[in-house]
């Protein structure tokens, strides 16, 4: 079965990206839900390795783009090159025209580059030289940003944050996981034979996306998703805490994202139906980067996850 293939892929990725099961699973959910993922965490936590290992398993090209303050949109999208022998301009494609993209430290690029990324992520196309060029059908961006260093960074605008399907906060692995990482790294350095990657074709990825969309979701669960979104826009109806902490709620794009991610989560769990628990599990990565907290909430030291917990406590599942 197709779901078994992706479950094996999940297991293989966890064996190669040790101590980050959530990162691995969210990557697969983003792949199946046809969205992009923003990963926030300190350096050295296998963010690059995760996308690289995934690209080794999936039919498609991988490219890492290091975002810097001097990066130009053409460095990302490509540019027209004049050919003297023909007298014409040919479009030289940039690194964005790969299937799997790692946008490393995306918040270090200026606004013009962010705008180029916004079109690519939202519409799967880039415009250069007055012409529109279509990106690959299989197109996934995993962007990273360092939560510690803020000097020389350009905070991502809300419009671009909303383009990310999910935001994942990555933490340090535990003691046993770090021991396993040490041994895996030593084995790779010695050239020890490792297990073969699980091969997944692009057709199987697209078939998986269709299968996810056919997962049964009861009307009560659909309305639960909508109530969660509405509660961020009309928080006073639910609790004073929500009303005081939320400056702006989520857009309908968040509702669509929560629907798809809950379906993908249920499908990867081997079920053919979505439960409220699937919605609750995915609410954190889907909503945390879309909520705009008030100054009062920030002054109290609250973060988006605290607000989502309150949201789930206040909004009835059925």
* Beta bridge partner(s), residue 104: 66
Q: Tell me whether residue 253 is in a domain.
A: yes
Please give the Cα distance from 252 to 295 (Å, whole number).
Answer: 24
Please give the Cα distance from 45 to 131 (Å, whole number).
Answer: 39
Task: State the average pLDDT for the chain.
Answer: 88
Q: Tell me whether residue 172 is in a domain.
A: yes
**Are residues 180 and 227 both part of a single domain?**
no
Q: What pLDDT does residue 41 have? A: 81
129 pLDDT more than 80: no
Q: What pLDDT does residue 150 have? A: 63
Total count of domains within the chain:
2
**Are residues 160 and 239 both part of a single domain?**
no
**Are residues 157 and 28 both part of a single domain?**
yes
Q: Tell me whether residue 197 is in a domain.
A: no
CA–CA distances in Å: residue 135 to residues 35, 99, 170, 267: 14, 8, 29, 27
* Average pLDDT of the segment spanning 163-175: 88
**Are residues 183 and 296 both part of a single domain?**
no
Token pair 């961006």 in the structure block, residue: 141
Q: Tell me whether residue 42 is in a domain.
A: yes
**Are residues 228 and 184 both part of a single domain?**
no
Among 189, 224, 244, identify where a domain stops: 189
Q: What percent of the chain stands above pLDDT 70?
A: 98
Across 160-309, the runs of DSSP E, i.e. the strands, are: 166-169, 246-248, 292-293
Which range of residues forms the domain containing residue 308? 215-314
Q: What pLDDT does residue 51 have? A: 85
Please give the Cα distance from 302 to 305 (Å, whole number).
Answer: 8
Residue 56's pLDDT band, with cuts at 50, 70 and 90, is: confident
pLDDT (tens digit per residue) in 192-234? 767 778 889 999 999 999 999 999 999 999 999 999 999 999 9
151 pLDDT more than 70: no
Q: How many CA atoms lie within 13 A of 91 on its CB side?
A: 17
Q: Tell me whether residue 143 is in a domain.
A: yes
Q: What pLDDT does residue 317 have? A: 84
pLDDT (tens digit per residue) in 256-312? 999 999 999 999 999 999 999 999 999 999 999 999 888 888 888 888 999 999 999
CATH number at residue 274: 1.10.8.80
pTM over 0.85, yes/no: yes
**Are residues 176 and 219 both part of a single domain?**
no
**Are residues 30 and 108 both part of a single domain?**
yes
Please give the Cα distance from 31 to 200 (Å, whole number).
Answer: 12
Among 189, 205, 225, identify where a domain stops: 189
**Are residues 178 and 225 both part of a single domain?**
no
**Are residues 184 and 309 both part of a single domain?**
no
**Are residues 50 and 127 both part of a single domain?**
yes
CATH number at residue 79: 3.40.50.300
Q: Tell me whether residue 208 is in a domain.
A: no
Across the chain, the runs of DSSP E, i.e. the strands, are: 37-40, 62-66, 78-83, 88-93, 100-104, 125-128, 131-134, 140-145, 166-169, 246-248, 292-293
109 pLDDT more than 80: yes
**Are residues 169 and 235 both part of a single domain?**
no
Q: Tell me whether residue 199 is in a domain.
A: no
**Are residues 173 and 249 both part of a single domain?**
no
Q: What percent of the chain stands above pLDDT 90?
A: 37
Q: What is the largest CA-CA distance in the chain?
A: 70
Residue 148's pLDDT band, with cuts at 50, 70 and 90, is: low
pLDDT: is 172 or 222 the higher one? 222
Q: Tell me whether residue 295 is in a domain.
A: yes
């Amino acid at each position: 079965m197709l779901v078994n293939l992706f479950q094996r892929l999940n297991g293989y990725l966890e064996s190669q990206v040790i101590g980050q099961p959530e990162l691995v699973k969210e990557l697969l959910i983003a792949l199946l839900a046809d969205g992009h993922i923003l990963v926030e965490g300190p350096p050295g936590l296998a963010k690059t390795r995760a996308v690289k290992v995934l690209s080794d398993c999936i039919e498609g090209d991988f490219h890492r783009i290091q975002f810097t303050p001097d990066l130009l949109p053409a460095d990302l999208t490509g540019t027209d090159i004049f050919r003297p022998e023909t007298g014409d301009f040919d479009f030289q494609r940039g690194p964005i025209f790969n299937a799997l993209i790692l946008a490393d430290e995306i918040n270090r690029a200026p606004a013009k580059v962010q705008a180029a990324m916004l079109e690519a992520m939202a519409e799967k196309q880039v415009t250069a030289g007055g012409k529109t060029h279509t990106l690959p059908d299989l197109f996934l961006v995993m962007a990273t940003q360092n939560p510690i260093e803020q000097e020389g960074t350009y905070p991502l605008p809300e419009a671009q944050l909303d383009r990310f399907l999910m935001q994942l906060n990555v933490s340090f692995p535990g003691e046993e996981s770090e021991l396993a990482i040490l041994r895996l790294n030593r084995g790779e350095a010695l050239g020890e034979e490792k297990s073969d990657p699980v091969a997944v074709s692009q057709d199987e990825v697209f078939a998986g996306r269709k299968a996810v969309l056919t997962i049964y979701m009861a009307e009560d669960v659909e309305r639960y998703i909508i109530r969660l979104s509405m509660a961020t826009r009309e928080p006073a109806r639910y609790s004073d805490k929500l009303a005081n902490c939320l400056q702006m709620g989520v857009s309908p794009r968040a509702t669509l994202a929560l629907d798809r991610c809950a379906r993908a989560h249920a499908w990867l769990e081997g079920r053919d139906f979505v439960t409220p628990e699937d919605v609750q599990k995915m609410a954190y990565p889907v909503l945390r980067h879309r909520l705009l907290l008030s100054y009062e909430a920030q002054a109290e030291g609250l973060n988006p996850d605290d607000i989502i917990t309150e949201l789930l406590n206040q909004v009835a599942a059925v």
